[in-house]
Amino acid sequence: MGNADETDTVWCLDADSGRVIWKHSYACALDPRFYEGGPGVTPTVSGDAVYTLSKKGHAFRFDFETGDVTWRRDLVKDHELEPPEWSFAGSPFCHDDLVVLNCGGAGIALHAGTGKTAWKSSAEHSGYATAVPFVRDGKTELLLFVAKELVSVEPATGRILWRFSSQCSRNVNAADPVVDGNRVMISSSNGSVCLQIQPGKNPEPKPVWEQKALRTYFNPTVRVGGYIYAISGTTHRPTELVCLDWKTGEIRWKEPGFGSGALMAAGDRLVIFDKGRLTICLATADGFAPLLQAQILGGKCWTAPVVANGRVFCRNAKGDLACVDLLPQ
């Protein structure tokens, strides 16, 4: 997704060549608030459909092959939602026949086939993270990191099952929660906390550890084995790559020199894209162990890299997209 001349465009490109297969455009504000602006959401592919959400609440379902619009919604207009300061940024999450969005005080769900509203919360400010599934007592709940708290909702109804207060500067709860068993970690500019969620009717989330040194602003955080890897810091504070022990919250190592970029995990590798530089390193608690570093693009690079079929796809805030082949020729 991108924006030019106050117009959003959803693009479908051929992975081998970058050729445009289909695209769809609609009016939407660029809204460059302390950054270049444009969409903050990644499209979600599920079956034969692609779901998107604009920063101003335009929700779409496209046909995967043709790009035809199956349905569209204006959630701000339809439900009088109040976008947060940096507008909507959580990607659509598909669960059963629902598409769940981090819009409103505790989310909104649309029927995947029709786009009709299945349930909605209040019209208050949302957070910026994507919904994350969490299994408790054999049932799936959905975690939503909203403006001032972490909430767990019943997917079919939106009923809040439990909540944990988490307030930070300007309500930027943006990093997706990390889940392992009955533990959930959330992180923001105020620091990180790992919660243990109890079974039964009274979950009572209890902190297992807290770590003020790990502050994820809007970057994804990944867990590989028993360790968390993240870029810690904000756009106006020093940032560094951090390895943290999942069980104890102890910082194992830090590596400076990384900006507000993003990372993902692929097997036992970390793939990091920051300031146009692609870094691939081992996911190990023994220290920073780079395997490859290459300058791919220039400018601001906040979007997480994507690994598929031996390739890495990277983009910058300007809208440049690059595909890098990692396999030997």
101 domain-assigned: no
Neighbours of 96 (CB within 10 A): 10
251 domain-assigned: yes
The answer to whether 164 touches 177, Cβ cutoff 8 Å, is no
Residues 6+ apart with CB under 8 A from 278: 271, 272, 292, 293, 294, 295, 296, 305, 312, 314, 324
Sheet-wide strand order for 2-4: 2-4, 7-13, 20-27
Each residue of 21-59: pLDDT tens digit?
999 999 999 999 888 999 999 999 999 999 999 999 999
> Residue 322 is part of which domain span?
232-329
The answer to whether 242 touches 198, Cβ cutoff 8 Å, is no
124 domain-assigned: no
At 136, phi and psi to the nearest 5? -135, 130
d(CA 312, CA 294): 12
93 domain-assigned: no
The pLDDT, as a whole number, for residue 329 is: 61
43 domain-assigned: no
Each residue of 86-128: pLDDT tens digit?
999 999 999 999 999 999 999 999 999 999 999 999 999 999 9
Structure tokens, 325: 């082949």
Q: What percent of the chain has pLDDT over 90?
A: 89
Structure tokens, 86: 């940096």
User: Can you give the C-alpha Rg of the chain in angstroms?
Assistant: 19
79 domain-assigned: no
Each residue of 180-239: pLDDT tens digit?
999 999 999 999 999 999 998 889 899 999 999 999 988 889 999 999 999 998 887 778
44 domain-assigned: no
- CATH code for position 236: 2.40.128.630
Partners of residue 110 on adjacent β-strands: 99, 117
DSSP state of 216: B
Partners of residue 171 on adjacent β-strands: none
257 domain-assigned: yes
> Whose CA is closest to 272, among 284, 258, 286?
258
Mean pLDDT, all residues of the chain: 95
Number of domains in the chain: 1
The pLDDT, as a whole number, for residue 233 is: 87
